[in-house]
């Protein structure tokens, strides 16, 4: 409801233009951009720049904190984008539209490349620089990101315990509880393959989606078969996505190692060792092991 209201507000505040109107305006301006507006520029209205730039509220005077905060906020925006795109891909798979779903997944690989590149804005952070503002962050930790947790659930890394920090945020908790119980992107892919006649066992599709997915040799054999047919591009798009996610986790690990070493995390975890354990949880497992059979 809130999203629809926002869309309606944007449609009324931003006057739509046709191609003909743009051509007429360019001719009247003699090729120069329009310089006069009755209110804020249409760009500012559409992007919400004033709101965006008011969101950077640092809590210390350390100059490095702003880069830390902006990078974190950029990552949150990408988490939301990835969630939306993967949910779209799931709907396309549910409609047996593999070609369009593959295009959507490929697009998210590019989103993930941009997300991973954001780590460059923090890769220089030394312990001395981080320590200037770390204490002021209190218990705030990226571990507490509801959107990142939703992204992990969509990729199949699920845990009921990890939604508990959000119990006091009804909207986030409800969304995560729903995501926990629903199929992951990989579950949607396997269900699609089963409907296409591939020998995906029933137990791999009709299962408790909140539980960890257990790799199966029969699913592995199906992926080896898929690679010899028209759905190979879907398999490769998923592999590219898994690669980018692994890259995300590695860059996160290295950024933590560089800025704070093996100190305990702000959110109560052991920090570096927690991230190292998390890296061992692989997504889309049979896509990797099937390569041995090819």
Residue ranges at the known binding site: 134, 252
Specify the long-range contacts of residues 190-195, CB closer than 8 Å, at least 24 apart.
Answer: 190/219, 191/93, 191/94, 192/93, 192/94, 192/96, 192/98, 192/101, 193/222, 193/226, 193/231, 195/96
Selection from 180, 198, 291, 200 nearest residue 242 by Cα: 291
CA neighbours within 13 Å on the CB side: how many for 180? 17
Residue numbering of the annotated binding site for substrate:
134
> Buried b / exposed e across 17-54, counting CB within 10 Å, b at 16+?
eeeeeeeeeeeeeeeeeeeeeeeeeeeebeeeeeeeee
Separation of CA 282 from chain center? 16
Q: Exposed, middle or buried: residue 197 (CB in 10 Å: 0-12, 13-18, 19+)?
A: exposed
CB 85 within 8 A of CB 155: no
- Largest pairwise CA distance in the chain: 67
Residue numbering of the annotated binding site for heme:
252
Separation of CA 200 from chain center? 27
Separation of CA 133 from chain center? 27
**What is the phi/psi pair of residue 155, to 5°?**
-85, -5
Q: What is the CA radius of gyration of the chain?
A: 23
């Amino acid at each position: 409801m809130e999203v629809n209201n926002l869309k309606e507000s944007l449609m009324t505040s931003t006057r739509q233009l046709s191609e003909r109107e743009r051509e007429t305006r360019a001719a009247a301006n003699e090729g120069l951009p329009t310089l006069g507006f009755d209110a804020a520029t249409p760009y500012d209205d559409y992007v919400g720049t004033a709101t965006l730039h008011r969101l950077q509220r640092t809590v210390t005077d350390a100059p490095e904190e702003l880069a830390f905060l902006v990078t974190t906020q950029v990552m949150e925006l990408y988490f939301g984008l990835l969630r939306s795109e993967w949910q779209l891909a799931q709907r396309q798979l549910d409609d047996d539209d593999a070609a369009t779903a593959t295009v959507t997944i490929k697009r998210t690989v590019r989103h993930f490349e941009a997300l991973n590149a954001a780590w460059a804005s923090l890769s220089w952070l030394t312990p001395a620089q981080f320590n200037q503002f770390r204490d002021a962050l209190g218990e705030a930790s990226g571990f507490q990101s509801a959107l990142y947790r939703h992204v992990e659930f969509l990729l199949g890394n699920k845990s009921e315990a990890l939604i508990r920090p959000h119990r006091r945020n009804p909207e986030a908790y409800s969304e995560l509880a729903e995501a926990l119980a629903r199929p992951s992107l990989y579950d949607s892919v396997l269900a699609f393959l089963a409907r296409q006649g591939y020998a995906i066992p029933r137990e791999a599709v009709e299962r408790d989606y909140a539980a960890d997915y257990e790799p199966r040799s029969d699913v592995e054999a199906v992926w080896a078969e898929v690679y010899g047919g028209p759905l190979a591009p879907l398999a490769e798009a998923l592999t590219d996505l898994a690669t980018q996610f692994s890259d995300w986790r590695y860059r996160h690990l290295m950024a933590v190692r560089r800025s704070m070493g093996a100190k305990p995390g702000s959110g109560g975890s052991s920090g570096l060792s927690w991230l190292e354990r998390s890296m061992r949880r692989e997504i889309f497992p049979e896509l990797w092991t099937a390569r041995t059979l090819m």
